[in-house]
Amino acid sequence: MKTMARIVLYLMILYFCGCSSKKDEVIIAVNTGNRVGYFTDSKGNIIIDKQFDGVSSFSNGLAKVKQNGKWGFVNTKGEIVIPCVYDDGDVYSFSEGLARIKQNGKWGFINSKGKVVIPCVYDAAISFSEGLAAVVQNDKCGFINTKGELVISCVYDYMGFLSGFSEGFAMVKQNGKWGFVNTKGEIVVPCVYDSMYSFFEGWASVGQNGKQGFVNSRGEMVVPCVYDAAFSFSEGWAKVKQNGKWGFINSKGEVVIPCVYDGAFSFSEGWAAVKQNGKWGFINTKGEIVIPCVYDGAFSFSEGLTMVKQNDKWGYVNTKGEIAIPCVYDDANYFFEGLAKVKQNGKWMIIDSIGQVIIPECDMSATSWSKVE
């Protein structure tokens, strides 16, 4: 799998809430790639005694399922609570109690009973985040609340994608430049930037004239646009690139780890992967090498483990630098809720944190899992 695809998968991991008879139970939505989908617990035991043409992970207590070429929703008992009437790409998972749907070429939202509560009148829409959802009408973007009220008028440019709220702010574009609005629709960061990322830990990366820096939630430029690249903050640190090399700044904007690395990933669980002389290792927040740069590939830590590559095979190391799961896989992904997807002998499977196979075969892109309550 390409590096960017794996990063996206990592950033897109969400913690879902639902309801089931067992508190904090992980339910795996397994798709096999041959039009068979089913649900298991974290040990691989089938818990919903039905097979579907396709399944997705639970969110807000409901999961999408496909039957006879159409999508609907089941609860954690496997009961179909919203009929399978939607085509591929015309219905998305629930978020904040609502799911977006497409009818007659327009987008709207249904509630957990399948009732259309926000009419399908929008040219585009994304799922709700922090109580608001971006929508498009007449090629302009605005935001609605969960009552369907247009609380931020559709006056912003639509560039083929939409951005939701993060930490109380959303990116908007006007006259070819980017800025931020708050949940009241007030512009808190003027639309003067060529590029930007969402707010994380109170700061947002912005770009001007080919360089990047950071603004705070008051719209103040706290780190000038002097870097070739600047990524979002994670655990109080942000990776930045200068003169072709990567380093890290702290939340004061100070360079605390010099830009000396050929590659780097953001800090996670106190450590960051860095590349030097063609090999990857890990540093701590003091900039000390805690795992030597001896690996052909590496990524960020998740749940005390991270993928490393050696002799063209992937495995996992722990935070002591010990090989926890041998490098025997053709590809590997991050651990989430104690499980990870790995590829061996041309097949994707799911393993637990000690390398035990939980699901012997699955479709990599379509299989996912979440924790329900």
Residue 125 confidence (pLDDT): 98
Lowest mean pLDDT among 3-17, 45-59, 339-353: 3-17
Mean pLDDT for 135-141 is 97
Please report whether residue 108 resides in a domain.
yes
Confidence of residue 33 (pLDDT cuts 50, 70, 90): confident
Residue 373 confidence (pLDDT): 77
Q: Look up residue 229 and give its two tokens.
A: 């690249």
pLDDT of 12 over the 90 cut? no
Please check whether residue 186 is in contact with residue 180, taking contact to mean a CB–CB distance below 8 angstroms.
no
Confidence of residue 151 (pLDDT cuts 50, 70, 90): very high
Please check whether residue 90 is in contact with residue 73, taking contact to mean a CB–CB distance below 8 angstroms.
no
Please report whether residue 355 resides in a domain.
no
How distant, in Å, are the alpha carbons of 152, 207, 209, 219 from that of 177?
Answer: 18, 10, 12, 15
CA atoms of 55 and 367, how far apart (whole Å): 8
Mean pLDDT for 326-332 is 98
Residue 73 identity (one-letter amino acid): F
Please report whether residue 61 resides in a domain.
yes
Please report whether residue 117 resides in a domain.
yes
Mean pLDDT for 344-370 is 96
Q: Look up residue 217 and give its two tokens.
A: 């939630």
How distant, in Å, are the alpha carbons of 230, 235, 240, 249 from that of 244?
Answer: 12, 24, 10, 16
The number of folded domains in the chain is 1
Residue 161 confidence (pLDDT): 83
Mean pLDDT for 311-325 is 97
Confidence of residue 263 (pLDDT cuts 50, 70, 90): very high
Mean pLDDT for 260-272 is 98
Judged by phi (left if over 0) then psi (alpha if -120 to 50, else beta), residue 149 lies in beta
Confidence of residue 222 (pLDDT cuts 50, 70, 90): very high
Please report whether residue 128 resides in a domain.
no
Residue 331 confidence (pLDDT): 98
End-to-end CA distance of the chain: 32
pLDDT of 9 over the 50 cut? no
Mean pLDDT for 190-194 is 97
CB count within 10 Å of CB 46 equals 13
Q: Are strands 245-250 and 237-242 parallel, antiparallel or unpaired?
A: antiparallel
Residue 112 confidence (pLDDT): 98
Query: The whole model's pTM is what?
Result: 0.88
Domain that holds residue 83: 50-122
Residue 10 confidence (pLDDT): 47
Please report whether residue 199 resides in a domain.
no
Return the percentage of the chain with pLDDT > 70, whole number: 94
What's the CATH number where 62 sits?
Answer: 2.40.10
Mean pLDDT for 228-234 is 97
Please report whether residue 7 resides in a domain.
no
Confidence of residue 160 (pLDDT cuts 50, 70, 90): confident
Residue 15 confidence (pLDDT): 34
Rounded to the nearest angstrom, the gap between the alpha carbon of residue 131 and the centroid of all alpha carbons in its chain is 18
Please report whether residue 115 resides in a domain.
yes
- Per-residue pLDDT tens digits for 77-95: 999 999 999 999 999 999 9
CA torsion, ordered 253, 258, 263, 264, to nearest 10 deg: -50
Residue 109 confidence (pLDDT): 98
Helical residues (DSSP H) of the chain, grouped into ranges: 3-11
Mean pLDDT for 7-34 is 59
Residue 3 confidence (pLDDT): 54
Residue 75 confidence (pLDDT): 96
Confidence of residue 358 (pLDDT cuts 50, 70, 90): very high
Mean pLDDT for 192-202 is 96
Return the percentage of the chain with pLDDT > 90, whole number: 91
Residue 6 confidence (pLDDT): 52
Q: Look up residue 186 and give its two tokens.
A: 């007030």
CA atoms of 103 and 327, how far apart (whole Å): 48
